[in-house]
Amino acid sequence: MGVRVALHLKGVVDYDFLQERLGEKSQLLLESNPVYKKIPVLIHNHNPVCESMIIVEYADEAWAASGRAIRTADPYDRALHRFWAACIDDEVRVAPRRPTFFCLVKAETQEARAEAMEQSLAGLELLEESLAKLSKGRGFVGGDAMAYLDIALGCYLGWMKACETVIGHRFLDEEKTPLLVGWAERFCSHEAVKDWMPETDELLELAKVLQPKRKVSTAN
């Protein structure tokens, strides 16, 4: 999703989108990413570029003359945004590279779920504080327009909503995380995002496949 958002921001709309079947790896994928054998992969001028945020950076440079800049020109702010993007990836995902929100779905006991929820909420409160500093009072983390760090964080919102449906609890709260609530609404309604944001029902079906031994159901 992050790659498609970045391409849209750069004005790149004419491309082939090849979707892999879950549990299968095409020969093209294996040849394009022989190290991790994972999606996404961008193939540009016959050259493969792997890993979502690396592709976002590549797109910003490869199509520098079109669209708007995704990364800030300030070297310190750029380094800061890359640091936080790496932190988000480390904190939100767990081995084998699945969203941490699955920890809540997989929890076998109320104690385990409570612990996972506490960790998730603590991380979101830290993000709330960081958003206030990074956005400097503007609409997006990158400033007045969507940028690199917005993409890094925003691509997890779909899974967050799916997990909220399963456990019956909201992660983003207008009282505790008002900045994140407003930012999430702006991100999801952005023209570069709304066509690519997966529906909650689609993600719930995917969760059933990823977690075949545990029933995924909507909380009452």
- Identify the helix (H) or strand (E) that includes residue 60: helix 52-62
Residue 151 has pLDDT above 50, yes or no: yes
Rounded to the nearest 10 degrees, the angle between the axes of helix 178-189 and helix 157-167 is: 120
pLDDT tens for residues 14-60? 999 999 988 899 999 999 999 999 999 999 999 999 999 999 999 99
| Predicted TM-score (pTM) of this structure | 0.87
Amino acid at 158: G
Mean predicted lDDT score pLDDT of the chain: 87
75 to 127, 133, 201, 204: CA distances (angstroms): 22, 17, 40, 40
pLDDT single digits (tens) 178-202? 999 999 999 999 999 999 999 999 9
